[in-house]
Structure 1
Amino acid sequence: MLTGCKDLNEVDDLNIVLAMGIDETPDHQVEVSTEIVDPMGARSSSQSGSGGQRDQAKFIRHGVGKTVEEAVDRLDENVARNLFLSHNTVVIFGRAYAEAGIDRSMDYLERNLSLRRNQLWVVTDDTAAHLLEASGKPELYNALAIRSLVEQGVNKSIAINSTQLRVMRDYLRPSHAPNMAYLTVAHSELCECGVGLFDGSHFRGHLTSKDANGLLLFLGPTQQTEYTLPCSSGKSSTDLQNTFRILGTQTKVVPVMKGSEVQFSVQVRGRAEIERLCQGSKTTPDAYKEFETQISSELQQRMQHVMTKLQKDDVDSVQFATLLYRNNPAVWRKISTKWKDTFPTLTVNYDIHIQLLRNGLASKSPDTEFSPQGLPPRAGRRGSAP
């Protein structure tokens, strides 16, 4: 008496796709690569610690066509069992395809009811097929390894959470410059390397993890970021420098009118803690003020470095146009048609202050507290040894 699913299929009749890669071939066709679960291989991999058998948990298949839709159809025709896309968790764009424009695939990815808008979009300077074939150990599947790497980068504010919904929203906003997680392959293994920059739908390069943190400071709260600064004496070694951890920051960006000129005021406030100090450093109130000044200066330098690069490339990845539209729509309507000429010459004013906390700090090295007199007697509680 109960209704059932119209498209009911047994699991044994499906190919479950976990990741999809989109590349452009030398003859300007589209190649779609998929990572598909191998049920028998996954079962044997879970029962064995052998590295060779782990690769049997998945297999990669490719399809080529004039469009993404045609490439997926060719792929479905050439693989036994039907493709099941509802569990797809990652979409990877190869460099050649992304530079030519990812808008060619947006319609398919947005309108296909089998695909979910919380799937992660990733760009690489290699091919998407190569990224899918790289080692993602200890994960069984590269799709899970890619998501895990990006999530770890987001938690340390060196990567961006580029779900499909977020990328599409930034693409449609006035800045028209979405940011995307960027991964590459190093020594046949996945390597998290920062944020991919887009001008509209066209890939315009990437920022390394260090520079990515400077970009993320513009875009909103950051957390758990480590900063290493040289010793004030100038005699620091590579393994002993001043190290601080930024626990969290809050950013406020406001467009300001100076006559007929638009400027942007960037205010950053945050808290940090000491992880390591150079030898001989004193934890006096004056030293704390000096450390706070150094950290604030380092953050400003990173932000200015990123801003200089973005203005040189004329890519509004900091979303200034969107902020201007929200705060002053009347001004935005006047300069929207010439924003591409305005953005490279914008003046940005910075106000950055990081508060250094004083919790759990040991002011002396454990070695300075050592003395033979402080050791317990060898005979225990009854006195010294005979």
Structure 2
Amino acid sequence: MAKKSRPDEEAAPPDVRRQVAELDRQIAAAVGRRAELTRQAAADGGGVLERLEAKSLQDAAKLAGGLGAERIVAVFREVNAACRPSSPQCRIAYLGPEDTFSHIAAIHRFGAAADLTPVATIAAVFQEVESGAAGYGVVPMENSTDGRVSDTLECFSRSPVRICGELPLRVHHCLLGTGKRADVRRVFSKPQALSQCRNWLAQHLPQAQGQPVASTAEAAAMAAKDPAAAAIASRQAGQRLGLRLLAEDIEDQKDNITRFAIIAPRPAEKTGADKTALMFETPHEPGALADAMAVFKRKGLNLTWIESFPVPGSRGRYLFFVELVGHQAEVRVRRAVEALQKKALMLEVLGSYAHAEPIG
């Protein structure tokens, strides 16, 4: 009787297996050494680790070879994540639970191997960073369909944390369930997700009633227990729970993007392709806002985001949030801030950060 080969022996010719095994040993040794150097950088503080990781990803994109820049950067992002020491400085708080779009954004930014900590509210993300329990936070700031995220703007109005990064994520909603789409009578999801899919639901599930819940992940868990229900959630949430994909990409606006802010105790360093966010309040008198906005024109600064937000507990008073092209360390940005300070009752620089293209 012929000797049966083990599955691992059939996987590849012996010489290939030996070469792969040797390369794997070299990779493991290199990652171990990389982890030692990462711990040294983290111990130095002062943003040394952040600069090291940013440079690592920039260099990785240039070393892509046949793999392509996106794939090799994803590999090095996970190397960075795995090498970070276990400490509050390297912990990342995000609006949970797992498999929400905030969780997906956190993975895109920091890697799946990072110390990702889900919390229940946006305010809790800010509290984790402000208290030092986490080094970074990931919070939604605006959506291309529904506009600003009010809870995030309110937290900026009373927290000293700074924006150190942005992550525009293309949000693709899926309809998930255990039964047939024709049998769905209830659709669970977060209010924002229901809003972003309202036209699709009206056209394809007119018999179903939208029922808001706290998160898309919670919606998926509820749909898993009810054959007459479906959830609007991420594909990842459905895969985790074994739900059927009843429909995909059901968002009404196909370029549906949620922009997430990466928050930390300090802003990011200048990269040459940066943006700066400001928050200010003007006197309640004719022309005050127009005078304030004219500062940006005089200094030649392009605005990429403008929002107004009522001051909590003060009827008739508003905070204005603006984002401009440039870093707060640049001369013309500094001069604009100085000029605006003279016209504002209150002014805060919320942070400077590198411009990022949409992903996902």
TM above 0.5, yes or no, is no
TM-score class, shorter-chain normalisation, is: under 0.3
User: Under a length normalisation based on structure 2, what TM-score does the superposition of the two structures give?
Assistant: 0.27
- When you count helix as a share of all residues, which structure comes out higher? 2
Higher relative contact order (CA 8 A, sep 6+): 2
> What is the TM-score with the length of structure 1 in the denominator?
0.26
